[in-house]
Structure 1
Amino acid sequence: MHMPRLEFPEVLVMEILSKLPVRSLTRFNCVCKYWCSSFQTPHFISKHHHYNLENNNLNLFLSRCDGNTFQTYFSQLSTEKDQNYVVKQNIHLPFFKDDDPSVYGACHGVLCLLDPSTDKAAIWNPSTREFKVLPPSSIQRPPYFSPFEETYLTLDYVSFNHAAFGFDSKTDDYKVIRFVNLTFVNTEEEHPHPHFMDQVELYSLRSNSWKEIPSPDYTPTFGTLGNNYVDGICYWKTETGEYLDFRGLILSFDMGNEKFSILPIPEFVGCFPEYYVHLLVFNGSLGAIVYPSERIDTSFDLWVTSEGVWTKQFNIKSISGVVHPLGFGKNGDLFLRDTNDEVLLFDASTQELKQLEINTYLDHFRFAISLHAYLESLVRINGIQEDEKYIIRQPTRDASNEYRI
């Protein structure tokens, strides 16, 4: 006797599937055409993303540099082993061969990678393994006329820094903004004095092109940890004033109206340059990690803003040997780098500092380590699958330097 076939309503089936990881959904694409097409609808993609957002299903990877090959690797972290962070696998992007790309994002689970010394840029969804190379900039670099030397100068060097990646909800478009620094010299002089000019470029995924936008009066400074995008707005730290009289400001850019604004950094920060200030995203809000610049035993304050009001989330008392914060993982755990260039974890629940068993054979240039957190996402970026051309996956090694998969 055959048991009656039990059928679930399609709405319930899609509700269940929206809670599964991307890897499972990718395998289920071959179950039937209806499932495959449903996974690509904006409704399902949004539902899947919001489930991961509500459950704080963060994924983490470290950007690291191999001291032998000078290539950048992305080491995906996992907590599957003994509930501690270990390197699950290393990913290398040959498109950035011999380059050192910086990572910006994540927005809806998608990251942006840019090399500051070249025009190379790409958008990457590490969950679907979709990878899109951005076109080179078509913006003109005008000649620079020096009134002091009364002649036009030659463009000598171009650098791309202080970028951000975000989403414009008004036009349903992903955008990349980057600051471009142009260096001009008088080639007729034996020891020419450089002259600098800034541009700002904005990329649209919808049009797949770059355009120049007006530059703000302030230039961002370094001091962003991983992600500087929150709800349609990108943020950078900037400064004004002279040495010992610096005044900290926050430069913001609205992806929707494509306008810059200036916000004050509250007085809790302390005086520059006695304190470091790093902007970052914490639990979906703009935050700032503040710590003294010249102490071996360092304490950290985390401040978070909501509707313009800054509130101290917590203070981590003096930690001996810690020199630099890397960013936050799940449940408010803070990743740190110590004086021995090892990666540590401050457990927010137990207030304990743990040394992680993370493979360090890549980290001959450990000062280049950065931490990036993202949510799994099905967002399509009109690229290609990374494993076809752009990704070489490397086996990790354990403490005995034996390779393992």
Structure 2
Amino acid sequence: MQRPRFELPEALVMEILSKLPVKSLTRFNCVCKYWCSCFQTPHFISKLHHNNLKNNNLNLLLGRHDGNTFPHYFSQLSNKKDKKNKVKQNIHLPFFKNTTPSVYGACHGLLCLHDPSTDKAAIWNPSTREFKIVPPSSIQRPPYFSSFGKGYLTLDYVSFNNAAFGFDSKTDDYKVIRFVSLTFVNREEEYPYPHFMHQVELYSLRSDSWKEIPSPDYTPTESNNGNICVDGICYWKTEYGGYLDFRGLILSFDMGNEEFSNLPIPEFGGSFPEYYVDLLVFNGSLGVIVYSLERTSTSFDLWVTSEGVWTKQFSIESISGVVHPLGFGKID
């Protein structure tokens, strides 16, 4: 007598698969097209990443190159005690041949790679070694710029800066935002004075396309190490005002409603040009570390914001030999 066929609900199957090592999932891509497509969804990627965090299945990722030769490549180091400092694998990225891509943020174990000097960008999963090449932008660049007293200036150079990578939970989509700097010059002049214009582009992984969005009143003046993104909102530090009225500001972008807004820096009782204000993530919230430019008596103040209100968490007195703080982390 043939036993009745018993099938698990697909949701339960995906829950079980998300707890498996990445090496097993790579093999299971061949089981069926449905499993292969499910492994690429933001929900599954996020679930797999959080399960790896719980199980401490993490590896250290290093950017490397041999001397002055190209191409640059990445290496993964195993975190297992019996394989201390052992290179798990070397990963070459042929798409960025003869260029050095910058890592603009990590989200759910995915990395956004971007070459600021070109239009090349990619979303990379180091665990599965899957590599999604972002298509070039189709957004039009103005070839000329009319400047009073100088006639028409021609477009000379395009650069891509201050990219950020985040997750939009409203549409279950990964997005990349970047600021495009356009440099215009008068080619007839021997030493042309440049004039700058900016555009802002947003990439959606779901639609696999770029679109232009309205530029904010201010643009980032300082690149973050990676990018600061909290709950789908990305942050950059910017500055405005003249020399005698120089002020700092935090520019934010909501991946969900695709709108910019401004957030003041905390009122720490000092003059902004005389202090560093570094952005960071602290306990899942946006924070800043404030410290003086003077190296003789540097103290570090940590401020954290909640719904736009800054609260000073603590202050660390001067420590000799410290150049700048890197951030905070939990040590077990």
TM-score for the superposition, normalised by structure 2:
0.81
Match of 2:149 in 1: 148
Q: Output the aligned Cα RMSD.
A: 3.5
Match of 2:103 in 1: 103
Match of 2:272 in 1: 272
Q: Tell me if structure 2 keeps the 8 A contact 1:118–1:160.
A: yes
Structure 1 residues 24, 189: closer, same or farther in 2, change over 3 A? same
Identical residues among aligned pairs (%): 77
Match of 1:40 in 2: 39
Give the distance between the partners of 1:326 and 1:138, measured in 2 at CA.
37
Q: Tell me if structure 1 keeps the 8 A contact 2:240–2:249.
A: yes
Which AA in structure 1 matches 2:146? F
Structure 1 residues 232, 12: closer, same or farther in 2, change over 3 A? closer
1:242 CA displacement: 2.6
Match of 2:171 in 1: 171
Could you say what secondary structure the match of 2:51 adopts?
A: helix
Structure 1 residues 250, 259: closer, same or farther in 2, change over 3 A? same
Match of 1:238 in 2: 238
Match of 2:3 in 1: none
Structure 1 residues 236, 185: closer, same or farther in 2, change over 3 A? same
Give the distance between the partners of 1:148 and 1:54, measured in 2 at CA.
63
Match of 1:396 in 2: none
1:181 CA displacement: 0.8
Give the distance between the partners of 1:278 and 1:320, measured in 2 at CA.
19
1:323 CA displacement: 2.5
1:255 CA displacement: 1.5
Structure 1 residues 235, 152: closer, same or farther in 2, change over 3 A? same
1:95 CA displacement: 1.8
TM-score for the superposition, normalised by structure 1:
0.68
Of 208-217 and 295-304, more deviation after overlay is shown by: 295-304
Match of 2:259 in 1: 259
Deviation per CA, 1:302-358: give whole Å up to 9, x if none: 433333343445555544434344455xxx15xxxxxxxxxxxxxx57xxxxxxxxx
Q: Tell me if structure 2 keeps the 8 A contact 1:164–1:176.
A: yes
Q: Tell me if structure 2 keeps the 8 A contact 1:300–1:317.
A: yes
Give the distance between the partners of 1:218 and 1:27, measured in 2 at CA.
48
Of 202-211 and 289-298, more deviation after overlay is shown by: 289-298
* Structure 2 gaps, min length 5: 1-5
1:94 CA displacement: 2.5
Match of 2:224 in 1: 224
Which AA in structure 2 matches 1:213? I
Of 240-249 and 81-90, more deviation after overlay is shown by: 81-90
User: Residues 124-143 of structure 1 correspond to what in structure 2 (within 5 A)?
Assistant: 124-142=124-142, 143=144
1:113 CA displacement: 1.1
Of 188-197 and 70-79, more deviation after overlay is shown by: 70-79
Give the distance between the partners of 2:313 and 2:118, measured in 1 at CA.
39
Which AA in structure 2 matches 1:163? A
Match of 1:184 in 2: 184
Q: Which runs of 4+ in 1 moved over 6 A?
A: 7-13, 54-57, 82-87
Q: Tell me if structure 1 keeps the 8 A contact 2:60–2:79.
A: no
Match of 2:305 in 1: 305
Higher relative contact order (CA 8 A, sep 6+): 1
Of 300-309 and 41-50, more deviation after overlay is shown by: 41-50
Give the distance between the partners of 1:245 and 1:55, measured in 2 at CA.
51
1:75 CA displacement: 4.2
